[in-house]
Structure formats: C-alpha cells, structure tokens
A = this chain, B = another copy of it.
Amino acid sequence: MTLRQDIHSSGIPVLCRSCEGRRRGICGALDPDRLAALARSSSRHKIEPGVELVGDCEAVNSYSNVLSGVVKLTKSLSDGRQQIVGLQFAPDFLGRPFKVESEISAEAATVVTLCSFPKAALERMVKESPELEHRLLKQALDELDAAREWMVTLGRKTASEKVASFLVMLALNIDTSVDSAAISASFDLPLTRADISDFLGLTNETVSRQLTRLRAEGVIRIENKRHVRVESVGRLEQRCGGRRPRQFG
C-alpha cells in the first residue's frame, strides 16, 4: 500500500505534495499533468501583516491560493470609512476571475503564505478542466452564502451580537477542533480591534467595550490582548441573536 501511494504521488509536483489546496482547494480539480504545469509557473510567498496584496481599482495579473494565515478583503469609501467584506483562510482561492480590475483591496491580516500563479495560466486551465470551474463556482457560492450571512449581522444585529457572532465565526474557522458540539475553543485573533470594527461596522471603542463585557460575564477569557479562550461556546452562541453563524470559507 505504501508502494502504491508512492507510485501515485510521484506524479505530484514537490511544491504541491503537502499542500492543502490539493485536498480542499481548487487544485484538487487538476490531474497530475495539469498540476505540474501550473506548479511550474507558480511560486510561494511569505507576506507580512499589513502588506497590501491587491489594491483597489488595480489591474490584477495573478491569482493565489491562501496556504496559511488570514487575508482581509476590504472596500473603502472616498472619505476613509472602511468595511471588511470578507476574510480568507487556507485553502481559499484569492482573486476575481473574469475581471481585469479589482474593486476590492486585499491585505494580509496576519503573516500569510500564498501560492501564486499568473492569471493567464489559471484561465488556460479553466478552459481545459471543467472540474476546476466547478470548484471555483463552489467557492464563489460559499463566499456568497457567507457574505449574506454577514449582511444580516451588519444590518440587523446589535453591537454585542455582532461581536459574539464574530468570535463564533473565528472559532469555527481557526480552531479546527471546534465543531457544532464543541464546548470550548481557543485561538489568536487575526485582526486588531480596529479591523474587527471595520468588519462589524462598529468603532474600535465599541468592540473593546463588548469584549470587556463578555470577559466580565465569564464567557471568554483574553490573554495578551490577542489570545481568546471561549469558555462556553454555547453561551457565546446564545448571544449571536438567534441564527448560528456559518463557516466562512
């Protein structure tokens, strides 16, 4: 059995062997030959927090897979107000197919590793492998579901419900041991208070006050400003306003 696996994996490019993108991401749609072709023109990058990956109204020449870390997608108004419209985790595909120009800006929220490839390379693959387009469609629909879930949060929830919903969403996406039945969770916040407020349509002061309140009520515990320990996922979910936040990616 180990032998067979070795033979089988011998066709897989070294770069891709241990990559999540092959299991859950779009690369799983590619046969070894196409994967090799794509791998030849792709490269890994390590990106520091705060670095802008794609500027607003900027031409986009490459796509990427997120291999680790968190990328925030933001839109801003001309007077500086900002809204985070999406978070991307591994192994999400990053980019907007079929558009020359991005209306969104993407920025590394944490240290991020990406696997990038030229726009043209992916678009050639799409023409050859229908399964690839199928995966892109699936991710787009998942992101659409997530965006709509957050529209409810932005439009109809109170500040305290917003913060609780945000924490539950993070727990589901970051602390992989958390499923619907989990009692406690533990993770590092990938966003600053200011980022969180841009995600929830609040001010950083309000976010801070709500976190303080959750801490005072014993629902969460915060260490070093960044590390969150959710003592009771159930009690946190009760504060989300009556609809369970779904997984983001």
Contact = CB atoms under 8 A, between A and B. Distances in A.
Contacts of A143: 144
A75 B130 contact: no
A81 B161 CA distance: 13
Contacts of A37: none
Given A78-B243, A201-B156, A141 B96 contact: yes
Nearest to A86: B148
B243 A152 contact: no
Interface stretch (A132-140, A178-186, A227-235): A132-140
A174 interface: no
Contact of A148 (B130, B145, B147, B200): B147
A142 to B, nearest CB: 9
B75 A149 contact: yes
Contacts of A191: none
Interface in A22-75: 73, 75
Nearest to A197: B155
Q: Which 6 A-B pairs have the closest CB atoms?
A: A155-B201, A78-B242, A85-B148, A154-B154, A147-B147, A130-B130
Given A96-B145, A97-B141, 19 more contacts: A73-B148, A75-B149, A75-B151, A75-B152, A77-B241, A78-B242, A79-B242, A81-B156, A81-B157, A83-B151, A85-B148, A98-B141, A104-B148, A130-B130, A137-B137, A137-B140, A140-B140, A140-B141, A154-B154
